Chains A and B, each alone.
Chain A
C-alpha cells in the first residue's frame, strides 16, 4: 500500500512540474536556511561541552561593585587565588587550576627574535583535569611540573619551526630562560572559550613575577575550580567575594561561571577571546523557525489550492474502499516524500553556503553525518512533512465521495479562508521582519554616526609596546615620521578611544572637599588631543612649554604632580558649572602615593567606547603610565592610505625592533565595537530577503492556480467588455487585499518588538512611522509584481480558447 502511495505521489509530482518545482524550491530554501542557522546555533551552544567534568567545572570571575569597569565583570582573578582555594577551601573544592594570563612580561624568543601573535600562558599540571588538550607528540601536561618545559600547539609548532614534531627543540623565555619543548598538543578547537597556543609551567611565571602571587590585589590569571559533591557554587562565590574584598577600597563580588556558559553568557573584561552572544543564537533560532514556517505555509497553501485536481482520485479511492485514515496516510506520505526531496536539495545548498556562513561567523562548521545528526535530520523531515502535510491531508481526505464523483465539487469556504489566513501570516512575518531589519540598521547607523567627540578617520593605531620601549624610541620615531608624506602628528596613550579603560580611581576635590568615585583615568602623551581631534572647550593642550604638565614624582614628599585635562562630564560631576570655573582647580588622586593634578583644559565629551555605554567622566594625565604598555596613534591626511601605512609600519618595526607590525585603522577598531550588531543586522537582512523570496514563490504558485481556475470567468468578463487592465486588477486584487490586511495586523507587532529592542540602548532613535508605510508599500509592490505577470497573461488570452475548453 505504501508503495502505491509513493508511486502516486511521485507521478503527481512529475505531472505538475511547475507546482512541484515551486514547492520544492520554497521548501529547499527554507530547510537550507534553517539547517544553516541550526548548525550555527549548535556550534555556539557546544562551546566547552566536550571538556571533562564540564558540569562541575567553573571559572571564577569578579566585579567591582563600586566601580564601573566598563563591562559586567572581570574574567581574570589574582594569581594567588589558586593557593587560597587549595588551602582555605579544601573542604569544598575538589580541584583548582589556573591559566596565567597572556602577560606582556613574558615573551618567547627564537634565535634572539621575539615571537609575537600567539597566546602564551602558564598553567598547572592538573589542567588536563579541566580541559581536553590531547597530546600529539611528546609529553602531556605533566611536563608542566618542571620549570623549563614548554608545550606548543600543532599550528604554532608549524609556524615557528615549519614542522609539527619539534619535541626536544628549544625556545627562550624573555630571551633568557631556555625552555625545552616537551610536547605538542592538538590545536584548541574553535568551540572553546580557551585561546592557548603555548603553555609553560606556573612555577616559571612565579619565578619571574613573584609579586603577582603574593597578594590578592592584581588580576592576572584565569582560575577554574571543580567542587565537591553537594557544595553550592553560590556559597563559594559569596565567601570568595568577602575574602577578595578584604583590604580593598571597593566591594568585590565573585561568581562561579559554569564552564559551558562562558562563551554565550560572559563578555567580561580580559576574556581570552571575544565571546558570542546568546541573543544572536536566539535570533538565529527564531529566524530559522520563521523561515521554515513560511515555507510550510507555502506548501499548505499550494496543496489545498490544488486539491481539486486530486479530488477525483480521492473520490475513486473512497468508492473503492479507502478509509479516511488511509487517505490521510497517503497524503502525509506524499508530504514527507516532497520534504525528503527538498531536504536533499537543501543539503546541497547548505554545503554550498557553508563557506559563506563560516566567513560570516569566523567559524569552521562542517556538515557531518554522524548517527545523532542523521537521526535529527530524519526527525526533522518527518516533523516538517507531517506538520506541513497535516492540514492538506485532513482537508483533501474529507472530500465527499459522492460530490466529487458526480462532479458537483465545491472546494468549500473553510479551506479558502484558511489559505487566505496563511497568506496573511506569511506577508505579516515579512512585514515585521522588514520593519525590524530597517530599524536595527538605522539604530546601528545612528550609534556609529553619533558625535564621538574625537576624529576616527585617517588614524593609524600601532600595536602595543612596552612603555620602556616607547620612552627609548619615541623621539626617533616622531622625528623620522616627519619624513613620511601625509603624516600629520603622532601621540600615544595607555588607551585610545575604542579601548576599554584600565584604570578607574577616586578623585579628591579640595575645592568642595568631595570625592568622586569611579573616574576613568588615561595616561597620555603629548599631542593626544590634536592627533585624535578632541575639542577643547577651554584651557590648553598639554605642552612641553609647561614642564609641570608631565607627571613627576617627588621622592622627597613622596607625592606626584601633573597637568590634567578633563571632559565635560567630569567637569559637571565635580560641580563646576562652566569650563572656565574648572581651569586651575585641583584634581587629586591616590594610588600608593598622593597625586596632585591641576586642570589645564576641559574637552568636550567623547564616546570612548561603544554607544552602548553611557558617556563617562574622563581625566587625561600626561605621562602617567601605569600599565607599562602604550599604544601609538598616527594621524595622516594622505589619500594614499596603503603607502602611508606601509611606510609607517616599516619605520615602527625598525625603531621598536618588531619583525612584524600589524597596525590597524581607528575606524576599523571602532567598527569592531559594533561587530555583534553588524552581524545581527546582516543576519536579519539575509533572512528577511529569503522569507520574501519564499513568500513570493508561494504567491506565484497560488496566482498561477487562481488564474487557471478563473479562466472562464476572465473570458466571460472580456466578452462583456472588460479591458486587460481591468482584468489584471480583478485578478491581483484578491492578493493585494490579503497583503494589506497582513500589514495592518503586523504593524502593532512590529511596533512592539522594535520598541522593546530599542529600549536596550541608552541612546536610540524613535520608531519611525514612515517605516511602516514603506514596509507596506514594499510588500504590496512585491506581491503585486509577482502576481501581475501571470494575471496579465491570463487576461490577454483569447476568450474563445478558454470557453472552448469548458
Chain B
C-alpha cells in the first residue's frame, strides 16, 4: 500500500536547519497494524504527518497505492486524504461548536455525499462505537474516552483504507486507553490498515509490527509476536 524510499524532511528556519527525517525507507502493506515508536524528537510525528499526507517530504519517493505522491500539491493531497485516510489525534480535535453527529458527518459533507446516505452512515458508525445515544451532545459534554470514540467514528465514517493515529491514548486513562486499543485492533482485524505513533510499549504491543526511530532514521523494525496479542485479548 505504502512505500517510502529515501524520504527526507528538513525544517528550515531563519537560523537553523533541522533534519527531522533522514533517508527513511520502509513499506507498509494493506492490513498491517504498525506502531511507530521512539524517544521525543526522533521524528515519529513528522513521519506520521508525511505518511498522512499532511506534510510533503523534502526529498524522496512516497508511493501510495502505486502512485508517487511526494510532489503532489496540497489540493491533490487533500483529495487523496479525504477519500482514503482517517485521522485519530491525541487531543481528539473534535470541533467544539458541532454536536457528536455533526462532527462525524463533517467528512461526508466534504465528500458531497447526499443527506440520506450521510444519515445512514453516521448513525451506523456511531452505533458501532457505542456512542449512538449521544448524537446531540457537544464534545465538552463528553468524557475523554467518549470523545475519542467520536473521533474514531469520524475517522471510520469515510471507510478509509488507512487510519493514522497519533498517540490516540495519550490523553486517556488506562481503561479508556485499553478500550481504544481494542477498537483499533478490531478495525485492523476487519481489514483496515493502521499506523499508530505511541510512547507506550504496552499499546505498541497491539500492533503487529513496530518501527523504532532515532534521530530521524529507522533504527529497527520488528514484528510483534502473535502470542502477545492473544495474551492481551
A residues neighboring B (CB under 8 Å): 1, 4, 7-8, 11-12, 15, 312-313, 315-323, 326, 401-402, 405-407
Contacts and interface: CB of A to CB of B under 8 A. Distances in A.
Contacts of B49: 402, 406
Nearest to B49: A402
A8 B82 contact: no
B111 interface: yes
Given A4-B102, A406-B45, A320 B82 contact: yes
A313 B106 CA distance: 11
A402 B55 contact: yes
Interface string B103-127: 0001101110000000000000000
A397 to B, nearest CB: 12
Contact of A15 (B75, B97, B106): B97
Contacts of A316: 93-95
A402 B49 CA distance: 7
Contacts of B93: 312, 315-316, 319, 405
The 5 lowest CB-CB distance pairs between A and B, nearest first, are A321-B82, A321-B110, A11-B97, A320-B107, A402-B54
Interface string B76-114: 001101110001010101111110001000110111000
B110 A320 contact: yes
A316 B154 CA distance: 11
B231 to A, nearest CB: 34
Interface in B60-83: 75, 78-79, 81-83
A406 B98 CA distance: 21
A1 B87 contact: no
Most buried by B among A1, A317, A319, A323: A319
Contact of A405 (B54, B79, B95, B98): B54
B97 A322 contact: no
B102 A319 contact: no
A167 B98 CA distance: 71
Nearest to A3: B109
B97 A321 contact: no
A560 B41 CA distance: 113
Given A15-B96, A319-B81, A320-B154, 13 more contacts: A4-B102, A7-B97, A7-B98, A8-B98, A11-B97, A11-B98, A313-B96, A320-B107, A321-B83, A323-B75, A402-B54, A405-B54, A406-B49
A321 B95 contact: no
A658 B95 CA distance: 80
Interface SS majority for chain A: helix
A321 B102 contact: no
A81 to B, nearest CB: 73
Contacts of A12: 97
Given A4-B106, A402-B49, A321 B87 contact: no
A318 B95 contact: no
Nearest to B86: A320
- Residue with the highest number of chain B CB atoms closer than 10 Å, among A312, A320, A321, A401: A320
Interface of B: 45, 49, 54-55, 75, 78-79, 81-83, 87, 89, 91, 93-98, 102, 106-107, 109-111, 154
A323 B77 CA distance: 10
Contacts of A8: 95, 97-98
A321 B89 contact: no
A204 B102 CA distance: 82
A11 B102 CA distance: 13
B54 A319 contact: yes
A768 to B, nearest CB: 48
Contact of B107 (A11, A321, A406, A407): A321
Contacts of B78: 318, 321-323
A180 to B, nearest CB: 75
B89 A317 contact: no
Nearest to B164: A319
A567 B65 CA distance: 103
A494 to B, nearest CB: 77
Contacts of B54: 319, 401-402, 405
Which of B45, B49, B54, B79: most chain A Cβ within 10 A?
Answer: B54
30 contacts: A4-B102, A4-B106, A7-B102, A11-B97, A12-B97, A15-B96, A15-B97, A312-B93, A313-B96, A315-B93, A316-B93, A316-B94, A316-B95, A317-B95, A318-B78, A319-B81, A319-B93, A320-B82, A320-B87, A320-B106, A320-B110, A321-B82, A321-B107, A321-B110, A322-B78, A322-B110, A323-B78, A402-B54, A406-B45, A406-B49
Given A4-B102, A321-B78, A313 B107 contact: no
A323 B78 CA distance: 7
A766 B94 CA distance: 64
Contact of A326 (B79, B95, B107, B110): B110
- Listed residue (A326, A406, A407) with the most chain B CB atoms within 10 angstroms of its CB: A406
Contacts of B154: 320
A402 B54 CA distance: 6
Contact of B109 (A1, A11, A401, A407): A1
A8 B110 CA distance: 15
Nearest to B45: A406
Contacts of A1: 109
Nearest to A12: B97
Contacts of A402: 49, 54-55
A315 to B, nearest CB: 7
Contacts of B95: 8, 312-313, 316-317
A322 B102 CA distance: 15
Contacts of A11: 97-98
B156 to A, nearest CB: 13
A498 B45 CA distance: 85
Contacts of B109: 1, 4
A405 to B, nearest CB: 6
A241 B96 CA distance: 78
A321 B96 CA distance: 18
A402 B45 CA distance: 10
